[in-house]
A and B are shown apart, each in its own frame.
Chain A
Amino acid sequence: MANTAHAHAADPAGETRRDFLLHTTIAMGAVGGAMMVWPLIHSMNPAADTLALSTTEFNISGVAEGQRISVMWRGSPVFVAHRTPAEIEAARKVQLSELRDPQTDEQRVTKGKDKYLIVSGICTHFGCIPQGVKVTEPRGEFGGWFCPCHGSQYDTSGRIRKGPAPRNLAVPPIKFLTDTTVLIG
């Protein structure tokens, strides 16, 4: 030990070389460690079979005017509403400036299928399922959906109008495969 200490003091060049080795070793070790962390973290992300289940097809012709249903997509409900003309009108006459997350009703439906509103059934606050699919359930002041968890209220376009939720009910990727068959995802 005494010898090495001596060598240090006497030979500054040796010390730099040793430091260089030390620092590269630490750096390589850190890089290697970091490279191992990502697979571990990523293993917690959705697995391939979970991702494979991420589309749903359903037939919309059974939903009568004024009726709402929920369809399962990726383990959570999607609300499908066949809106009455009054509900559509209520959604369209709202000024954008009144909205927390400004979006027109037209932006939220498929063109030509305006009477169908298809939105995610997950409250954008903390993920509860808002009530309002069944006629017996509360729909809030705006005639859409009411979240029982912390009182968020959505309108007939699924837009947030009151309560703590920050965003409108999300519109999932939708495609009308035929006039009556809808693909979500």
Chain B
Amino acid sequence: MSTEKSIWKKALDWHEERLPIISWIDHSLGTKYPVPRNLNYWWNFGSLAMFMLAVMIFSGIFLAMNYTPHVTLAFDSVEHIMRDVNYGWLIRYMHANGASFFFMVVYIHILRGMYYGSYKAPREVLWWIGLLIYLAMMATAFLGYVLPWGQMSFWGATVITSFFSAIPGIGDSIVTLLWGGFSVDNPTLNRFFSLHYLLPFVIVGLIFLHIWALHVPGANNPLGIDATPADKIPFFPYYVMKDVFGLAVFVVIYFTAVFWFPNALGEAVNYVKANPLQTPEHIVPEWYYLPFYAILRSIPNKLLGIIAMFGAILILFALPWLDTSRVRSGNFRPVFRIFFVVWVIDVLILGWVGAQPPEGIIPTIGLIGTLWYFGHFAVIMPVLGWVETPKPLPASISQSVLKAAE
């Protein structure tokens, strides 16, 4: 019996010979994928991000079954989802809060990469694909936020599409093309729905590339040194279990927000139907865009403001070369650690500035914060690599553990 293959194993082997999908999964995220043994909990956020993408796609598809992308019906159809559709409120709150949690997870994931130097050779392409995913997420969330057709939906859409009018010469034609008319209107809503449905699947494709690019060099680790085979353990069961544990904790927090604070991160004025004749008193984007919005507003010139705002993200693509230090992990870079924390605080301040009306001292704080943001990448990172003396690196992951035990 023990040597004899069961019928199931035989069927599986038969199938694997024709389509080796199980082996493929086993190599990608199973027993054949070796991972450094010393990953900490900051490494949980990649799998959490994948989970959130799945939640967004599932909840979104069910929302789409009851949503109507037409200017006269969109707002009412969302209210219909909230009041009449069975569990519609749950599905919508999962989706609306899901976007916020997705961004929180991805922001932590990105900061993890920045602190532990995961963008450095040989992981530059992996870093780039991650940034493309982030850009696609920003576009998706913007398009989605327009769909309920509230006041903030409408005016957010107007302001953001008008960004393109800053392009000299052809800007206005591009905006008309984006709108399909002379203002944000029904054609705009229709195409935004179409693209909002499409982009998450583009993200799924990018995630395949992301994981592929991850598997070529393998995962980085908190020490930032290359892991020897002896310092690696299989992804399944070890990290699968750890990810599942992290997921359980995360889901508790996420659903606490969905059930008890579903509107904490939203804007009340988006429960007012879009009115093309009246701009709300105070326009604010969703929290995850605020630092970039602050950068945009802090520069008193339309074109330069736009360039700075997009530049704030594009500069991250150059980070592998702007950072001239060859030590990956911030644990061994005493000066970098401080500047890293200062930069995170700077981004938080910019986020706060973005939520304030641009009056009094606010634009000045925004300008200083913007200068620091760019200075961090363009000046501090290159110079630090030359002047900083890193702490000695351990010879291997196990050596660092044995040393600590002594």
A residues at B contact (CB < 8 Å): 41, 44-47, 50, 54, 70, 72, 74-77, 122, 125-129, 131, 147-151, 163-166
Contact = CB atoms under 8 A, between A and B. Distances in A.
Interface in B349-398: 358-359
Interface of B: 155, 158-163, 165, 176-183, 185, 187, 191, 276-283, 297, 300-303, 305, 358-359
Contacts, number: 86
B226 to A, nearest CB: 41
A164 B282 contact: no
A148 B281 contact: yes
A75 B185 contact: yes
Contacts of A129: 277-279
A50 B179 CA distance: 11
Contact of B181 (A46, A72, A127, A131): A46
B302 A164 contact: yes
Contacts of B280: 148
A46 B176 contact: yes
A76 B182 contact: yes
Contacts of B181: 46, 50, 74-75
Contacts of B281: 148
Which 6 residue pairs are nearest across A and B when measured between Cβ atoms?
Answer: A74-B182, A75-B183, A127-B162, A126-B162, A126-B159, A128-B279
- Tell me the interface secondary structure of chain A in the complex: loop
Given A125-B302, A164-B305, A46 B278 contact: no
A61 to B, nearest CB: 22
B177 A41 contact: yes
Contacts of B165: 126-127
Contact of B282 (A41, A125, A147, A148): A148
A148 B279 contact: yes
Given A126-B158, A150-B358, A164-B305, A46 B279 contact: no
Given A44-B191, A70-B277, A128-B155, A151 B358 contact: yes
Nearest to A163: B300
A75 B180 CA distance: 12
Contacts of A46: 176, 179-182, 187
19 contacts: A44-B187, A47-B180, A50-B181, A70-B277, A74-B182, A75-B183, A77-B277, A125-B302, A126-B159, A127-B159, A127-B165, A128-B158, A128-B159, A129-B279, A131-B279, A147-B279, A151-B358, A164-B300, A164-B301
Given A126-B160, A126-B163, 20 more contacts: A41-B177, A44-B177, A45-B176, A45-B177, A46-B180, A47-B187, A50-B180, A50-B185, A54-B182, A70-B277, A75-B276, A76-B183, A76-B276, A126-B302, A127-B158, A127-B161, A128-B283, A129-B279, A150-B297, A165-B302
Nearest to A170: B172
A185 B43 CA distance: 59
* Interface-central residue, A54, A122, A151, A164, by most chain B CB under 10 Å: A164
A151 B159 contact: no
A151 B277 contact: no
Contacts of B177: 41, 44-45
A142 B116 CA distance: 53
A58 to B, nearest CB: 15
A125 B321 CA distance: 35
Contacts of B358: 150-151
Contacts of A54: 182
A74 B158 contact: no
Nearest to B275: A129
Contacts of A45: 176-177, 180
